[in-house]
Amino acid sequence: MKTSHSGIDFIEAHEGFVSRAYLDPVGVLTIGTGFTNRSGVFRKMWGRKLKPGDTITRTQNQRILKEALANEYEPPVESGTPADAKQHEFDAAVSATFNLGARFMSWKAAQLWKAGNRSASAEHWANNYNKAGGRKLPGLVRRRKEEAHLFLTGEYAGVGEGTQRKEIASRPAKPDPVVKEAQVALKRFGFDPGEIDGWMGRNTKAAVMAYQNTHPHLTNDGIIGPATMAQLRRDGIAVRDAAQKGGGLSLVSGIGAAVAGFPWLEATAFVAVLAAIYFAWRYRDVIQRRFNKLFRREVA
């Protein structure tokens, strides 16, 4: 069994296409239809490790996607599916494997499927496997629910997570959840999109453009695409990490120092400095964006 044309469309709608390498929410360098250095097929066909600044054409992307599906993502699904597997079930599993890796086929949702309990599999699938960097991300929540829906019903539906959101003249009949997520994040980071209404209107486009203009790795086009959404989510993870992990490390080090008989304040201060250096290095792109915003600098 191979991924159907509808299944490939489903994967591409979620992954999107980005011609220039960008960082995903947890800092993994990504290009094209979600390709990273973690993919052996991608590394082999790319000829080397992916680097910042690399670009890919649509033709290259389609060739790599075809090979990656055939040699990396379809085989573990094919070998792990029950004998009575349907095409839409296979397609849903390939989408999950493409996003999560071959290990998905050893997890509970796949085990329930192999045991013949499809409804339980879909329910578990829809409500799990949706975190990145320890944080539940709205995009992954939607993807898991839409994969589970496809698996259970055969309906290739969804919001098209990776589809570019460009300015539209009139308010949509239903709020776009991707645009709404972006609006909330933009407002949180000081780029006012106006009303949080899920409408990619003039105000939201201006806020997106202002955000992109401060960021060293984004194309300044006023479009909400996979790279811009990934960076907005990465900014959110950085805020959480700075608040939670930094303070946690200092507290734990202080307790450890007290138990060992070392000065509490000195040990806590030392680890706090180390934590600050670590976060500054890991989220240097986020820090650069905030520096640019503060000093009104625009990135070419």
Lowest mean pLDDT among 117-131, 191-205, 224-238: 224-238
110 has a pLDDT exceeding 60: yes
pLDDT score for 284: 72
Q: Which residues pair with 57 in a beta bridge?
A: none
Q: Please state the separation of Cα 88 from the chain's center in Å.
A: 24
Chain segment 68-99, per-residue pLDDT in tens: 999 999 999 999 999 999 999 999 999 999 99
19 has a pLDDT exceeding 60: yes
251 has a pLDDT exceeding 80: no
Mean pLDDT, rounded, for 214-221:
88
Mean pLDDT, rounded, for 54-73:
97
pTM (global) more than 0.85: no
3, 91 in Cβ contact below 8 A? yes
199, 175 in Cβ contact below 8 A? yes
Q: 291: how many CB neighbours lie within 10 A of its CB? A: 12
Lowest mean pLDDT among 67-81, 123-137, 143-157: 123-137
Q: What residues does each domain of the chain span? A: 5-153, 177-294
153 has a pLDDT exceeding 70: yes
Report the CATH fold assignment for 5-153.
Answer: Lysozyme (1.10.530)
- The whole-angstrom separation of Cα 220 and Cα 212 is 5
Per the model's pLDDT, the better-predicted residue between 3 and 279 turns out to be: 3
pLDDT score for 270: 54
Per the model's pLDDT, the better-predicted residue between 277 and 160 turns out to be: 160
- The whole-angstrom separation of Cα 226 and Cα 165 is 10
Mean pLDDT, rounded, for 170-178:
95
Location of structure tokens 């609006």:
183
pLDDT score for 259: 47
241 has a pLDDT exceeding 80: no
288 has a pLDDT exceeding 80: no
pLDDT score for 252: 47
Q: Which tokens belong to 89?
A: 């079930």
Tell me the pLDDT of the chain averaged across its residues. 88
